[in-house]
Amino acid sequence: MAIALSTPVTGTAQTGFTAPTYPVVADNPPANNAKQYAVSGTLGGTQVGVSVHSVSSPFTLAIYKPARFTPMAPLNQNGVLVGNGYNDYAFVLRKGMLPLAGQLPQTAVFTLKMRIPAGADLASPAEIRGALSMLFGSVSQVSAGTGDTLVSGIL
């Protein structure tokens, strides 16, 4: 298993949160080309107002790989790839939340999609890893600011 969450997942910094942790359990994924985890149990740290997974208010993370991998396209007479495809991967987090006190929860969806040119897995694996390193490092670095922006609307 290349991607497997261990429990609890340690959350990143957010305004008003102290050492957040999220206990996860394996869940039935929405598709055969996915893994899914649900946040279940007692949340750790200080994160007042955050709820765990329930039927009416989901808190899940699904991780997708391509349903069918796209091979690298053939080269034309000039040695150039023709119509090269992509292999798409995604992290999709679903979190139920109240849009207004007294209302039923609605589900927010957070999606991180990674689109990799077919063949790059063989020709430039370091480039893929470098891009992910920068992406996840940046997302981690701006986690609290992103939360503040989603709440305030100020970028």
The string of DSSP letters for 30-93 reads SSTTEEEEEE-SPPEEE-TT-----SSS-EEEEEE--SSPPPPPPB-TTS-B-S--EEEEEEEE
Q: Could you tell me if 22 and 45 are in contact, meaning their C-beta atoms sit under 8 angstroms apart?
A: no
Q: What is the pTM of this model?
A: 0.90
Give the model's pLDDT for residue 54.
97
Residue 102: strand pairing partners = none
Tokens for 44, please give them: 């750790």
Cα dist. 118→16, 60, 76, 84 in Å?
Answer: 42, 29, 16, 7
Residue at 28: amino acid letter: N
CA–centroid distance for 153 within its chain:
22
Question: What string of pLDDT tens digits covers the 155 residues of the chain?
Answer: 588 999 999 999 999 999 999 999 999 999 999 999 999 999 999 999 999 999 999 999 999 999 999 998 888 999 888 888 999 999 999 999 999 999 999 999 999 999 999 999 999 999 999 999 999 999 999 999 999 999 999 98
Q: What is the pLDDT of residue 1?
A: 55
Residue 84 CB partners (closer than 8 Å, separation 6+): 72, 73, 117, 118, 119
Domains defined for the chain, CATH in brackets: 9-73+81-152 (2.40.160)
Enumerate the H helices of 112-152 as residue ranges. Answer: 120-123, 125-141, 143-152
Q: Which two tokens stand for residue 62?
A: 């699904």
Distance CA 57, CA 61 (A): 13
Query: Quick one: how far is CA 19 from the chain centroid?
Result: 20
Token output for 94? 């679903």
Q: What is the pLDDT of residue 130?
A: 93
